[in-house]
Chains A and B, each alone.
Chain A
Amino acid sequence: MIFLGSLVVRRESLGTYYKLVLEECILVGVKSLFLFALVSTFIGAVTTVQTAYNLVSPLVPNYIISNVVREMTILELAPTIMALIFAGKVGSSMSGNLGTMRITEQIDALEVMGINATSYLVLPKIIASILMYPMLVIFSGACALGGGYLVGTLTGIISPTDYIYGLRYAFNEYTVTFALTKALVFGFLISSISCFKGYYTKGGAFEVGVASTEAVTTSVMAVLIADYLLAQLLL
């Protein structure tokens, strides 16, 4: 809490943060697009195949496959599973970056200049994560549903019409609100935990590695606990 409090005191000008946040948005968001697209598409494809494998009864219509894929994607796969990927890619990078800056005295150099290094370095990363992660979740959901469509239709598991019908069938908009709420919380948790671990690194290169590992492990645990709590509270 003290760490988070120090982010908002003695801030630099808004123009400075605007530029830094944009730079971080590119690092956090745009540069994660390929990995997110790849993982999400395959998850969507595999979910479609496995759901079809489990729904063998002639009494269950085919469109239920895409209906199940949609619910799984929106409720869990896109916000939560991708948060684990986000922690591995972005969280470890944030922690490693700040840890290296700490051990090479770059953070001390900022402090000596009279700059609030916590606010200057960490705040833009947290804001960028809160802004970009929900967008990545939307992108990821679209890729997963697209992956499911491709595999489902190309392998003959489900017809394009059934797939689209299943996606639309009994759609509850609240699931999207729930997924985006989770995305906001996860984006904040991953970035703040990773920055905290990196910012307070002590030692040398080995400790930077340890801090990155701890950042990912702690973030993953926080995401899973928050996932359960949010499900209990909001569903």
Chain B
Amino acid sequence: MIEIQNISKSFEDKQIIHNISGIFEKGKTNLIIGASGTGKSVLLKSIVGLIQPDTGTVFYDGRNFTDADKEMKAEIRREIGMLFQGGALFDSKSVEQNVMFPLNILTKMSPTEKIDRVNFCLKRVGLENVNNKMPSEISGGMKKRVGIARAIVNNPNYLFCDEPNSGLDPQTSILIDEQMISKLPP
């Protein structure tokens, strides 16, 4: 469960979010909906700690994330998977290397186990035989799906998706929604 209490954030003189509180319960898909420029991404980034909120606290299963030291934050972040608006795939790595990246850094799995896990996650998001392609060689929708595969490869406790459907055609949007709702968590 994630609990946020009185989150506020301003950039210079402009207040982006003000006193947002809420509880995101375990096993549920929670949506943050709002018009463009109302601070959805800022709230999301405040929750995962990419932006330091001006006020307020975030708790991950009772653990205070906002006031945690760097070690503790890193520990909690290793339980988080996140899909970014543009996919945020590493340009210099292939699809397979991108998805395998969290496994290389955060686990001690053998190379065979890693490959199996990567192929399993890519299959879950409907991608096969793209392992050796570079991010520049695949479409926007495929990038999003690779981003999802990378976000779930490490079996995260918390999965955040920042506008997973933005810039996609309706068919791919439906596909991604289906994958997130019916197939996740792995």
Contacts and interface: CB of A to CB of B under 8 A. Distances in A.
| Same complex | yes
B44 to A, nearest CB: 10
Interface stretch (B22-30, B79-87, B115-123, B169-177): B79-87
Interface stretch (A100-108, A136-144, A149-157): A100-108
Contacts, number: 58
B106 A109 contact: no
Interface in A9-62: 9-10, 12, 16
B80 A105 contact: no
Interface string A116-130: 100000000000000
Interface string B24-52: 00000000000000000000010011100
A104 B102 contact: no
Contacts of A109: 82, 84, 88, 90
B74 A105 contact: no
A220 B82 CA distance: 39
A114 B79 CA distance: 9
Interface in A66-115: 100-101, 104-106, 108-109, 111-115
A159 B73 CA distance: 68
A29 B20 CA distance: 50
B84 A114 contact: no
B12 interface: no
Nearest to B51: A108
Residue among B49, B71, B102 with most chain A CB within 10 A:
B102
Given A9-B70, A10-B71, A108-B50, A114 B88 contact: no
Given A108-B50, A109-B82, A114 B77 contact: yes
A83 B132 CA distance: 37
A113 B78 contact: yes
Contacts of A100: 91
B50 A114 contact: no
B75 interface: yes
A12 B108 CA distance: 13
A112 B82 contact: yes
B53 to A, nearest CB: 16
Contact of B50 (A9, A106, A111): A111
Interface in B155-176: 160
B77 A113 contact: yes
B105 interface: yes
Given A100-B91, A104-B86, A105-B84, A112 B75 contact: no
Contacts of B90: 101, 106, 109
Nearest to A103: B86
Residue among B81, B91, B105 with most chain A CB within 10 A:
B105
Contacts of A113: 77-78, 80, 101-102, 105-106, 154
A116 B48 CA distance: 14
Given A106-B90, A113-B105, A10 B74 contact: yes
Contacts of B82: 109, 112
Given A109-B90, A112-B82, 8 more contacts: A10-B70, A105-B88, A109-B82, A111-B49, A112-B160, A113-B77, A114-B74, A116-B74
21 contacts: A10-B70, A16-B104, A100-B91, A101-B90, A106-B88, A106-B89, A108-B88, A109-B82, A109-B88, A111-B50, A111-B77, A112-B48, A112-B80, A112-B82, A112-B160, A113-B77, A113-B80, A113-B101, A113-B105, A114-B77, A115-B74
* Closest A-B pairs by Cβ, 5 of them: A114-B77, A114-B78, A105-B88, A109-B88, A114-B74
Interface of B: 45, 48-50, 70-71, 73-78, 80-82, 84-86, 88-91, 101-102, 104-106, 154, 160
